[in-house]
């Protein structure tokens, strides 16, 4: 650590804790001698905390499927609102969570955000063990689960400062994938845990995470570090907000991450509602989130080599084809085609998550020679795009809700989603792959966009 820390008197005033003042990841000698080890350590504990954030965030996706079995009879519309609310809260929290990193430091904020996950767990235990719990309390519990959704932006913004530009794609891909895996872990473990003993014990769905939350909180406090240069300051946010690429990338992230998280919340319920004879397959819904999470670093890795825009374009074309597959499965009542098409959607959304996030630092680095400013703007965009992208999950579940309530089928929702993917294809090509764009800003192609 001595090779990384400056002298105590050079630390920022009124600061305490594990702060690192001197950080040069772009310096090969510094990186190999001490930077890589410190960055890897912070990445590991960031993944642990973020993984639990996702686990708690999507907890209701499994709980809602079993509520009827323990005496809580809610309509399809009410059930989907229990899926929409945590998505909405998580998306909203992503911007302030990004601001929290420069305010408190990555170490302290990871500790706080991990500890807050105990709140929704406690609320869920009360809700499912108290007879006659009103619907509004379940909505409150779902909203509290949204706390886990904010962790992503603060974690990604924090880790982005630890790694050099050439290794950022894989590092952010691993960080995000480790977090996204929380969805798969929840959807794999919770259906098993709640059946331990006699009947269905939904309280176990919350109890199981509490020791791990305490562990992640302690690890963040005792082992993580904060970088004094990790400051996406107000000026950086102003520059980011006035940059058209911030909004373009936010739109594209709705299509990638919005798809991943939206499908993750909805998939178990869609299986139960659309294919009643196959409701036992809900236990395998975790495969979608699992494979999609594993695919995320692949998207970052491919983008480092062939360019994020190319990977993103192909991803959206594939998402469109996958959506057509789901439409056909609903029309011909083929569950294998339905399940397989959704797995493909998860894989492609995961790859797209990695490629779009890799595009962000490349775009801002290509627009200025000021490396620090570019990194701070990119960190700001991580929070903005992360929040807007997560709202895509809200939209996905809303269109499913209205489609099932109105026409009793998924087809109208899938048609709307297909048109959206088409718009994403056109947007990606228009802004990042047209030859005249590269003629005007040639560095974009070189930067890995």
9-32 pLDDT, tens digit each: 343 333 456 889 889 888 899 999
- Which of 314, 395, 307 is closest to 349 using CA atoms? 314
How many residues in the chain? 449
pLDDT (0 to 100) of residue 157: 80
pLDDT (0 to 100) of residue 10: 40
Q: Give the rounded distance of the alpha carbon of 404 from its chain centre.
A: 26
Section 311-320 average pLDDT: 96
Section 253-272 average pLDDT: 93
Section 233-256 average pLDDT: 87
Section 253-267 average pLDDT: 94
pLDDT (0 to 100) of residue 1: 43
| Position 7 pLDDT exceeds 80 | no
| Position 34 pLDDT exceeds 90 | no
Residue 103: band (very low, low, confident or very high) from pLDDT cuts 50, 70, 90 = confident
Section 283-295 average pLDDT: 90
The average confidence (pLDDT) of the chain is 87
Instruction: Choose between 129 and 170: higher pLDDT.
Output: 129
Residue 64 domain-assigned (yes or no): yes
What kind and span of H or E run contains 120?
Answer: helix 118-129
| Position 431 pLDDT exceeds 60 | yes
Residue 23 domain-assigned (yes or no): no
Segment 70-83, tens digit of pLDDT: 889 999 999 999 99
pTM over 0.85: no
Residue 300: band (very low, low, confident or very high) from pLDDT cuts 50, 70, 90 = confident
3 state DSSP class of 386: helix
Which residues share a beta bridge with 5?
Answer: none
Segment 342-393, tens digit of pLDDT: 999 999 999 998 899 888 888 888 887 777 777 778 877 877 888 898 899 9
| Position 107 pLDDT exceeds 60 | yes
| Position 249 pLDDT exceeds 60 | yes
Question: Domain range for residue 278?
Answer: 29-446
Using CA of residue 170, residue 175, residue 178, residue 181, what is the dihedral sign? Answer: negative
pLDDT (0 to 100) of residue 399: 95
Residue 127 domain-assigned (yes or no): yes
Domain harbouring 312, CATH code: 1.20.1250.20
pLDDT (0 to 100) of residue 12: 33
What span, in angstroms and rounded, lies between the C-alpha atoms of 234 and 109? 19
What span, in angstroms and rounded, lies between the C-alpha atoms of 416 and 310? 24
Q: Distances from the Cα of 288 to the Cαs of 7, 83, 184, 323, in angstroms?
A: 49, 17, 7, 14
Count: domains in the chain: 1
pLDDT (0 to 100) of residue 447: 43
Residue 249 domain-assigned (yes or no): yes
Q: What is the DSSP string of 194-237?
A: TTSSSS--TTHHHHTTHHHHHHHHHHHHHH--EETT----HHHH
The label of the residue with tokens 């997560």 reads 390
Residue 8 domain-assigned (yes or no): no
pLDDT (0 to 100) of residue 2: 42
- Which of 237, 238, 257 is closest to 249 using CA atoms? 257
| SS (HEC) of 243-301 | CHHHHHHHHHHHHHHHHHHHHHHHHHHHHHHHCHHHHHHHHHCHHHHHHHHHHHHHHHH
| Position 173 pLDDT exceeds 80 | no
**Helical H segments across 67-105, by residue range:** 76-104
Section 315-335 average pLDDT: 96
pLDDT (0 to 100) of residue 343: 96
| Position 443 pLDDT exceeds 70 | no
Q: What is the DSSP string of 2-69?
A: TTT---GGGSPTT--SSEE----TTSHHHIIIIIHHHHHHHHHHHHHHHHHHHHHHTHHHHHHHHGGG
pLDDT (0 to 100) of residue 435: 61
Segment 117-147, tens digit of pLDDT: 999 999 999 999 998 999 999 999 999 999 9
Residues 6+ apart with CB under 8 A from 243: 364, 367, 377
Q: What percent of the chain has pLDDT over 70?
A: 92
| Position 328 pLDDT exceeds 70 | yes
Residue 233: band (very low, low, confident or very high) from pLDDT cuts 50, 70, 90 = low
pLDDT (0 to 100) of residue 142: 97
For the record, the structure tokens of 101 come out as 């990193």
pLDDT (0 to 100) of residue 14: 35
Q: Give the rounded distance of the alpha carbon of 299 from its chain centre.
A: 14
Residue 24 domain-assigned (yes or no): no
Residue 287 domain-assigned (yes or no): yes
Residue 10 domain-assigned (yes or no): no
Instruction: Choose between 391 and 280: higher pLDDT.
Output: 391
Out of 60-74, 95-109, 178-192, 406-420, which region has the weakest mean confidence (pLDDT)? 95-109
Section 199-222 average pLDDT: 95
């Amino acid at each position: 650590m001595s090779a990384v820390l400056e002298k105590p008197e050079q630390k920022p005033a009124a600061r305490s804790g594990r702060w690192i003042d001197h950080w040069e990841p772009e310096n090969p000698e510094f990186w190999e001698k001490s930077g890589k080890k410190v960055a890897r350590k912070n990445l590991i504990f960031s993944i642990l905390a973020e993984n639990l954030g996702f686990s708690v965030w999507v907890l209701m996706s499994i709980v809602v499927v079993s509520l009827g079995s323990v005496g809580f009879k809610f309509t399809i519309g009410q059930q989907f609102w229990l899926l929409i609310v945590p998505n909405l809260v998580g998306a909203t929290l992503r911007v302030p969570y990004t601001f929290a990193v420069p305010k408190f430091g990555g170490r302290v904020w990871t500790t706080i955000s991990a500890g807050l996950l105990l709140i929704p767990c406690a609320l869920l235990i009360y809700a499912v063990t108290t007879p006659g719990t009103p619907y509004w309390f379940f909505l409150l519990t779902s909203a509290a689960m949204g706390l886990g959704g904010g962790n992503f932006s603060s974690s990604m913004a924090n880790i982005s400062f630890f790694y050099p530009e050439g290794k950022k794609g894989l590092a952010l891909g691993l960080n995000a994938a480790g977090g996204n895996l929380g969805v798969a872990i929840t959807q794999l473990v919770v259906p098993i845990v709640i059946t331990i003993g006699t009947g269905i014990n939904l309280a176990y769905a919350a109890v199981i995470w509490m020791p791990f939350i305490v562990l992640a909180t302690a690890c963040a406090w005792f082992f993580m570090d904060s970088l004094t240069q990790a400051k996406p300051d107000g000026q950086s946010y102003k520059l980011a907000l006035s940059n058209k690429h911030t909004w373009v990338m936010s739109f594209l992230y709705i299509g990638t991450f919005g798809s991943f998280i939206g499908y993750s919340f909805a998939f178990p319920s869609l299986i139960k509602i659309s294919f009643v004879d196959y409701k036992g397959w809900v236990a395998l819904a975790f495969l979608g989130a699992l494979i999609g999470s594993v695919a995320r670093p692949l998207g970052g890795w491919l983008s480092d080599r062939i360019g994020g825009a190319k990977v993103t374009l192909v991803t959206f074309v594939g998402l469109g084809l996958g959506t057509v597959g789901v439409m056909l499965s609903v029309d011909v009542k083929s569950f294998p085609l339905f399940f397989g098409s959704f797995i493909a959607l998860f894989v492609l959304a995961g790859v797209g998550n990695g490629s779009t996030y890799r595009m962000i630092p490349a775009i801002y680095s290509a627009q200025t020679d000021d490396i620090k400013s570019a990194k701070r703007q990119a960190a700001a965009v991580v929070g903005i795009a992360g929040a807007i992208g997560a709202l895509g999950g809200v939209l996905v579940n809303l269109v499913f809700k209205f489609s099932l309530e109105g026409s009793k089928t998924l087809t109208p929702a899938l048609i709307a989603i297909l048109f959206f993917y088409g718009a994403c294809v056109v947007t990606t090509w228009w802004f990042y792959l047209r030859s005249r764009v590269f003629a005007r800003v040639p560095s974009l192609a070189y930067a890995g966009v």
